[in-house]
Amino acid sequence: MKITRFSRIGFIIAATGSAVGLGNIWKFPYITGEYGGGAFVLVYLVTVLLVGFSTMIAEMLMGYLGRMDTVSSFEKLAPAKKHLWKFGGFESLAGLFIMIFYSVVIGWIFNYIITSLTSLPATPKEAENVFNNMLHTDFTTQFFYHTMAFVWITYVLNKGLKSGIEKMNFYLMPALIIILAGMFIYATTLGAFSQAVAFMFTPDWSKITSEAFVTAVGHAFFTLGLGMGTIMTYSASLEEDANLVKNTFWVVFFDTAIAIVAGLMLFTFLYQYGSGPAKGPGLVFISLPSAFYEMGLLGNVFAIFFFIALAFAGLTSSVSLVEPMIKYFIDRFSWSRLKASISMGLFFWFFGIFAILSNIDGAKEYLTWGDKSFFDWVDYVTAAIMLPLGGLIIAIFVGFVIPKSKVESVMKSQLKWAFEPWYFSLRYITPIAMCIVMLSLIGIL
Ligand code: TRP
């Protein structure tokens, strides 16, 4: 069988494309706003360095040693207990579940690209009405753009690792960076830039509740794209002499830098033209459009490019969320790529329809359980349970199940003195952090 591989740089770009997503540009700014800025950002940064970095190396190592789909890699690396450990590989299902709402949100972004071309809402109130009308009453628009996202993502996945995933990332990621850099440079010239810096980097520890703490830890995981086999699947095609530490460094660097740049830029615009740091998921869909309106003509241009950048970020992450399950069906059941791509695509497209309906007046009553709609449940179950569980499994698997000598034979020369601290963090720090996140998000702590 011919193995298609990423090029050396292609791997870093694709893994960065996976990491940089709606999490960085949509979610990070609004949860930073919600939890009061500086202290929250600091907890997030420390978690990325202490837990995220070491777990990403571990997940990359599993792909590098396993060389197969996630289920087979677990089996191959734990031959004695493969019937138990193979279930670790089914974490990849989390990616398909995430896509159920991720694709709907990409649909909203497509819709906003088009509406930014014609008109922006003049006041925050109007912006709120526009968003809420779409969310609660306009099924057709959401369905149309959700379907567009499904078609785009499935088309790229069907083209394969190199001419699909790598190629799309190769064009979209530089475009995304150029757009954000341009808008960021403009933001630095505005008076409110220093306010944004102060908001993001002056820690006010009184604002850190245990909930803020846990959200920061969970987000560090989500934003790096860890815990469900994306990195494991991508790294199954690494060259023999690949340097896992360097790869991880670049992915973590870009992911963090883009989150900070996007946050500083959005907060500057909101201080300068809007009503200051906004909270909640409406930040980029409600507060931002009216701030762009205040900015005048340039704001119109910015709005279009901003939503294009956001769509690019979402699309490059989407393919990484679906690819692990596609590889699973191709490797284990000899499905064609076409069959696997379309089946996985139809899965998230179909359930995505219910995610849309679960916000629509008249239908949502049937799709809400407890205090959460179907849309919110999918988000919650994946982020609160599946991803931390996946991270926990990966850390324990590399820390305790794969023989230390095998781990050492690859990692010692790359990590040098940092090998023991890394190994310690995998065995003890990451599992404890993940347990705390899960327990408190499901309400036990
Ligand atoms: N990291 C992406 C974001 O920030 C989402 C994502 C892509 C992801 N692949 C993942 C999250 C794997 C968890 C696991 O939006």
Q: If you take atom 11 of ligand 1, which residue's CA is the nearest one?
A: 225
| Overall residue count recorded for the chain in this entry | 445
> How crowded is residue 375: how many other Cβ atoms within 10 Å of its Cβ?
23
Ligand 1 centre distance from Cα of residue 22 (Å): 8
Distance CA 205, CA 362 (A): 43
> DSSP string of 332-378?
HH---HHHHHHHHHHHHHHHHHHHHHTTSTTTGGGGEETTEEHHHHH
Q: Is the CB of 329 under 6 A from ligand 1?
A: no
Contacts of residue 7, Cβ cutoff 8 Å, sequence gap at least 6: 162, 166
pLDDT tens sequence for the chain (445 residues): 456 789 989 999 999 999 999 999 999 999 998 888 999 999 999 999 989 999 999 999 999 999 999 999 999 999 999 999 999 999 999 999 999 999 999 999 999 999 999 889 988 889 999 999 999 999 999 999 999 999 999 999 999 999 999 999 999 999 999 999 999 999 999 999 999 999 999 988 888 888 888 888 889 889 999 999 999 999 999 999 999 999 999 999 999 999 999 999 999 999 999 877 777 778 899 999 999 999 999 999 999 999 999 999 999 999 999 999 999 999 999 999 999 999 999 999 999 999 999 999 999 999 999 989 999 999 988 988 899 899 999 999 999 999 999 999 999 999 999 999 999 999 999 999 888 888 887 777 6
Beta strands in 154-274 (DSSP E): none
Ligand 1 centre distance from Cα of residue 314 (Å): 9
In the chain, where the domains are located: 8-441
Question: Which of 2.60.40, 1.10.3470, 1.10.4160, 3.40.50 would CATH assign to domain 8-441?
Answer: 1.10.4160
Q: Is the CB of 72 under 6 A from ligand 1?
A: no
Q: Is the CB of 282 under 6 A from ligand 1?
A: no
Contacts of residue 322, Cβ cutoff 8 Å, sequence gap at least 6: 95, 96, 99, 153, 157, 341, 344, 345, 348
Q: If you take atom 8 of ligand 1, which residue's CA is the nearest one?
A: 225
Ligand 1 centre distance from Cα of residue 417 (Å): 30
Ligand 1 centre distance from Cα of residue 294 (Å): 33
Ligand 1 centre distance from Cα of residue 325 (Å): 15
Q: Is the CB of 324 under 6 A from ligand 1?
A: no
Dihedral sign, Cα of residue 16, residue 19, residue 23, residue 28: negative
First-last CA distance in the chain:
49
pLDDT of residue 238: 94
